[in-house]
Structure 1
Amino acid sequence: MAGLVSAQMVLASGPNFPTINDFLPPEILFQGTPFALNRIVLIRLIMTVVILLVLGITTMRAKLIPGRWQGAVEWMLGFVRNNIVYEVMGERRGKRYVPMITTMFMTIFLFNLCEVIPGANIAATATIAMPLVFAFWTFFQYWIAAAREQGLGKYLRHELIPKGVPLPVLIIVLPMQLLDVLVVRPVSLMVRLFANMLAGYFILELCLAAAQYFLVNVTDKLMMPLGGFMLIAALVMTLFESFVAALQAFIFATLSTVYINLSYPEEA
């Protein structure tokens, strides 16, 4: 009977589960000014400073024979250059975009990784602002590439009017193609990154909240195995979200490179 009463109390109070309000935190610095910062914006700024410091210090201390740290940084830079940019665009085209795609990949990866870093506990890309910025960056770059390499008129004819499509079908295809170029590409980039990091945050925080509640807040020992299970699930999710952080950065960088490459004429 005591165990039943305890279980009812657990269900009545419940763990402190995450809510959408976690993504609308109060301002903690410069309140009431145009420069007001909340927790998520502060995490972005701190991580940006960390990225710049790491790359700056690594560059200043670079040696001809790299050590482990320099080797790891150079491996990441080489991975983006060779396995994303050059793999999609080739070396001749890709050289122009290596700095952009490398910046995009490293920033998204480390911003995503904030979700599992103690003290941050939320991905800096889990709100719509940062995915939107990166998506628009890609959007502007493939339009600039199209205007420079083949002219906007020729690019639009190529994209909107596929070869061999009959006129009656073209009436349907043309608006769909225009929607793809103007809306679907940037929105798909934005939503994919945002939705994955948002969902990952909720799942991980649900596991952690349940684990804390059943192991710390509940005195009934019958609930402890459930708490232990949720703790193991949280640890597994932490490792999985670390993988997702890298995977989403890779997908975003690769698709951005593909979209920019599509702006070049086929014969180039």
Structure 2
Amino acid sequence: MLAVVLVFMCIVASRAKLVPGRVQSVVELVIDFVNNSIIANTLGLKDGKRFAPMLITMFVFILVMNLTGVVPGLNLAGTSVIGLPLLLALWTFVTYVGAGIRKHGVLGYLRAETMPPGIPWPIYILLIPIELLQVVVIRWASLTIRLLANMVAGHMMIVVFIGMTHALLFSGDWIIAISPFAGVMAIGIYGFEIFVAALQAFIFTMLTAVYIQLATSDEH
């Protein structure tokens, strides 16, 4: 799927025209959606332009790998195997930590993340370890688990309802009459999985942009 997307994007880019055709319009629609709905609203124009290549690539990659779960012959989302969500989450972690250190320096970044202003000093004793754990572990771990769990759950639901339809259809009893209802549910879950695939790509990319914004902002 990665090779297919790379070849497809290269072909579209090489044939790009001022007045886009249907295929180019679809690609530009996806790029504009990420730019306007995620990047511009979260990072603004200056930082948004800087991180746009990463965020657009991330969105398209996650979307395509999520949709492999509903492609006949593949039947398993690439992101339902922990390696891909973990790799993407670590990419996010390295990016926002690197951006924060570049903006504030090492000590300045740690201070900005773990010591928000306006809090009584004794509270920092509890707050600093919690905030540090969130920056170092919780953010990328939650990104990994959220994406993985959603795609695994969707795959399992499709398998369960298709298996139920098959079992009822060949049961050889009056219960065979229920099989069409299970089949309809399987088709419904199939459509819902497409929606979840797009939604999870959006959420993952949006959270990545938010974490970058938190790391590079002057005040929290």
TM bin (shorter chain)? over 0.9
1:106 Cα deviation after fit: 0.5
Q: Output one character per residue of 1:137-174: Cα deviation in whole Å (capped at 9) or x when no partner.
A: 00000011011111121111111112122232211111
Structure 2 distance, partners of 1:99, 1:163, is 33
- Report the TM-score when normalising by structure 2: 0.96
Return the letter of the residue paired with 1:55: M
Q: Output one character per residue of 1:121-146: Cα deviation in whole Å (capped at 9) or x when no partner.
A: 11110011100000000000001101
Instruction: Give the conservation status (yes or no) of the 8 Å contact 1:150–1:265.
Output: no
1:245 and 2:163 aligned: no
Instruction: Give the conservation status (yes or no) of the 8 Å contact 1:160–1:174.
Output: yes
Q: Which of 72, 87, 108 pairs up with 2:41? A: 87
Instruction: Give the conservation status (yes or no) of the 8 Å contact 1:211–1:228.
Output: yes
Q: Which of 52, 57, 62 pairs up with 1:103? A: 57
What's the counterpart of residue 231 of structure 1?
183
What's the counterpart of residue 211 of structure 1?
165
Task: Report the secondary structure of 1:85's partner residue.
Answer: helix
- Larger proportion of helix: 2
Q: Which of 254, 258, 261 pairs up with 2:206? A: 254
What's the counterpart of residue 32 of structure 1?
none
Q: Output one character per residue of 1:21-65: Cα deviation in whole Å (capped at 9) or x when no partner.
A: xxxxxxxxxxxxxxxxxxxxxxxxxx0011111101111221211
Unaligned runs of 5+ in 2: none
Structure 2 distance, partners of 1:58, 1:239, is 28
Structure 2 distance, partners of 1:158, 1:114, is 40
Structure 2 distance, partners of 1:192, 1:107, is 16
Superposed, 1:1-268 pairs within 5 Å as 47-215=1-169, 217-220=170-173, 222-266=174-218
Q: Which contiguous aligned blocks of 4+ residues in structure 1 show a shift greater than 4 angstroms?
A: none
Structure 2 distance, partners of 1:70, 1:86, is 22
Structure 1 distance, partners of 2:137, 2:31, is 30
Q: Output one character per residue of 1:83-115: Cα deviation in whole Å (capped at 9) or x when no partner.
A: 111110001111111110111100101100111
Structure 2 distance, partners of 1:60, 1:169, is 57
Aligned residues: 219
- Report the TM-score when normalising by structure 1: 0.79
Task: Report the secondary structure of 1:63's partner residue.
Answer: coil
